[in-house]
Amino acid sequence: MNTRSYRKIYGYIGSEFIFSTFTAFLFFFCVFFINQLLLLAEEILSKKVPFIDVARLIFYSLPAIVAFSAPFSALVGCLMAVGKFASSNEIIAFKASGIPQSRLFLPILILGGIFSILSFGVNDYFLPWGTVNFTKLYRKLLYTHPELELESYSIKNYQDSILTNGLVDSNAIHQILILDKDPDGAKRIITSEIGYLDKSIPGVIQLVLRGVTLLSVGGREKERYTYSFAEQMSYNILLKNVSISFRGLGPREMSSYDVYKEIQKKIKDLNDRIQEQNLRIQSLRLRYLYEYTEGVRMIIQNPSAFGTVRENLLRLSHQIEQEKNRPVQDRSLQLYLIEFYKKFSIPAGCIFFIIFAFPTALFTKRSGKVVGFGLGLLVSIFYWGMLVAGQTLGVRTSFSPFLSMWIPNFVILFLGAFSFLLRRHR
């Protein structure tokens, strides 16, 4: 068969795969999009935020939806397209015409690689861009609609304080009660008739309280208490204590290159700390050697000093063992490594899914598209479960970050290779 004929076959197979993948993409996109709408409806739409701002928040959420939809769409699209060819006996017709399965697989694999690259671009650039802008807009809305975080007649428990309030509207927060501790450890009760949010300090929510009463009990002098009044008081709350939406830029909100640079910094800092620990151990060993030499001299001069020398040497030996056994680690480095590998593993899933889907779909003889769609959903759930389990394992333990994020792909690859072998021997 000449090259032109193969081009027609490639175009035919590719168009069917693209159509099925696009159909699957719309399905997954709608599922994730509706889920995002439900979250916004609970947190934002119910708080009477202007529609244009809600629309912008949804727009900034789209890159995350697209990034997660693409790999699963490639899986389901391949299963549906190849399943359709198998159920309509077109695969048999191709083989009878002398066209090997590798030729049928080639255009789908190439398109899968293209989808993988596009998914990586969305995941690496547009996802951080969307997350950063979502955070900025949400912060802006918080100051004009404080009820987004401080609901009327609610109690908020932060790291070091508890805040209760009465009615919250767009202008002020009424009947505020704050329970916390001052720098000396004294328990404080702060009440205010009314307050509002001031955004003059970046990274901090500043509550400007009016008509303040403050009662402080304990501290350094346990029996002491103070009772004071103020017309106005500023009370700062770190944004990270108020909402997860206000955390600083994490690895998810950064490009892979930026995450890589941050990882190199953390590795350097960790190595410096390890080097400092080794220097401390070496210093203790030298001190031990010195004490041992001096101790021998003292014992020769005064045998009764044996107990003192022995006690000093045991103490130094204990300090050396403590220093050697003290772990030097950086948990944030583990998190950054997990996110770094995740930025590549999920887009690469497009290729691994296709390697699995192509031979598997050939086993479907009837109702190929329907069976392919159902099987694709089951495999997507299975893959997502492995991904979540791997990420949880990597975060909570010292398990390899690379394996945490790539084991799901390796499992899919193994199943695909197994399907190829089964198909080959049939």
Closest CA to 127 of 21, 250, 241, 20: 250
- Burial track 347-357 (b if 16+ CB lie within 10 A, e otherwise): bbbbbbbbbbb
Residues 127 and 20 in one domain: yes
Instruction: Give the residue carrying structure tokens 């001069």.
Output: 301
CA 51 to chain centre: 29
Q: What's the pLDDT at 345?
A: 92
Q: In the 8-state DSSP scheme, what is residue 161?
A: -
Q: Are 66 and 161 within one domain? A: no
Of 345, 341, 343, nearest to 353 by C-alpha is 345
Q: Within 10 A of 13 (CB to CB), how many other CB atoms are there?
A: 22
Q: Point out the domain boundary residue: 303, 331, 359.
A: 331
Are both 269 and 367 inside the same structural domain? Answer: no
Neighbour tally for 331: CB within 10 Å: 9
Q: Is residue 83 part of a domain?
A: yes
* Alpha helices per DSSP H over 44-151: 51-87, 90-96, 101-121, 127-144
Q: Which two tokens stand for residue 313?
A: 């040497």
Q: How long a stretch of residues is the chain?
A: 426
Q: Which helix (H) or strand (E) holds 388?
A: helix 368-396
Alpha-carbon distance of 150 to 166, in angstroms, equals 10
Q: CB under 8 Å to 64, separation ≥6 — which residues?
A: 32, 127, 130, 131
For residue 335, how many other CB atoms are within 10 A of its CB?
A: 18
96: its two tokens: 């009878």
Please say which residue of 276, 300, 331 terminates a domain.
Answer: 331
Task: Look at residue 124 and tell me if it is in a domain.
Answer: yes
The verdict on residue 185 lying in a domain is yes
Please indicate, yes or no, if residue 284 is contained in any of the structural domains.
Answer: yes
Residues 7, 129 share a domain: yes
Q: Are residues 174 and 138 part of one domain?
A: no
Confidence (pLDDT) at 122: 87
Q: Mind listing the pLDDT tens digit for each residue in 302-349?
A: 888 788 888 888 888 888 888 888 888 888 888 899 999 999 999 999
Phi-psi region of 203 (alpha: psi -120 to 50; beta: other; left: phi over 0): left
Residue 4 or residue 293, greater confidence: 293
Average pLDDT of 355-381? Answer: 82
Are 125 and 30 part of one and the same domain? yes
Question: Per-residue pLDDT for 3 more than 60?
Answer: no
pLDDT above 70: percentage of residues in the chain: 85
Paired residues of 232 in beta bridges: 210
The answer to whether residue 7 sits within a structural domain is: yes
Name 126's Cβ contacts closer than 8 Å, sequence gap at least 6.
Answer: 63, 66, 67
Residues 6+ apart with CB under 8 A from 108: 13, 14, 17, 78, 81, 82, 354, 358
Token digits of residue 424:
């080959």
336 occurs within a structural domain: no
Domain co-membership, 28 together with 79: yes
Phi, psi of 326 (to 5 degrees): -75, 115
- Tell me the average pLDDT of the chain: 82
Tell whether 17 and 124 lie within a shared domain.
Answer: yes
| DSSP character at residue 20 | H
- The per-residue pLDDT for 240 is 44
Q: Which of 120-124, 206-210, 221-225, 340-344 has the highest mean pLDDT?
A: 340-344
201 and 79 within one domain = no
Q: What is the extent of the structural domain holding 229?
A: 150-242
What 3 state SS string does 196-238 have?
EEECCCCCEEEEEEEEEEEEEECCCCCCCEEEEEEEEEEEEEE
Q: In the numeric block, which tokens belong to residue 420?
A: 């190829």
User: Any bridge partners for residue 226, and if so which?
Assistant: 216
Query: With left for phi above 0 and alpha for psi between -120 and 50, is residue 48 left, alpha or beta?
Result: left
Q: Does 75 reside within a domain?
A: yes
Tokens of 19: 């159509």
The pLDDT score that the predictor gives to residue 239 is: 46
The pLDDT assigned to 246 comes to 44
List Cβ<8 Å contacts ≥24 apart for 38-44: 43/148, 44/141, 44/148
Instruction: Please indicate, yes or no, if residue 366 is contained in any of the structural domains.
Output: yes
Q: Is the dihedral of CA 25, 31, 35, 38 positive or negative?
A: positive
Residue 144 has pLDDT above 80, yes or no: no
In the numeric block, the tokens 């009772």 are attached to: 227
Among 305, 331, 357, the domain-final residue is 331
Report pLDDT digits (tens) over 48-97.
677 788 788 888 888 888 888 888 999 999 988 888 888 888 888 888 88
Query: How is 27-56 classified by DSSP, letter by letter?
Result: HHHHHHHHHHHHHHHHHTGGGT--HHHHHH
Is the same domain home to 137 and 15? yes
Same domain, 133 and 14: yes
The predicted pLDDT at position 405 comes to 92
Are 205 and 234 a contacting pair, CB within 8 Å?
A: no
Per-residue tokens: 222: 């346990």
Domain count, the chain: 3
Judgement on whether residues 160 and 201 belong to the same structural domain of the protein: yes
DSSP 326: S
Query: How many angstroms separate the CA atoms of 24 and 32, rounded?
Result: 12
Sign of the alpha-carbon dihedral angle for 116, 122, 128, 134: negative
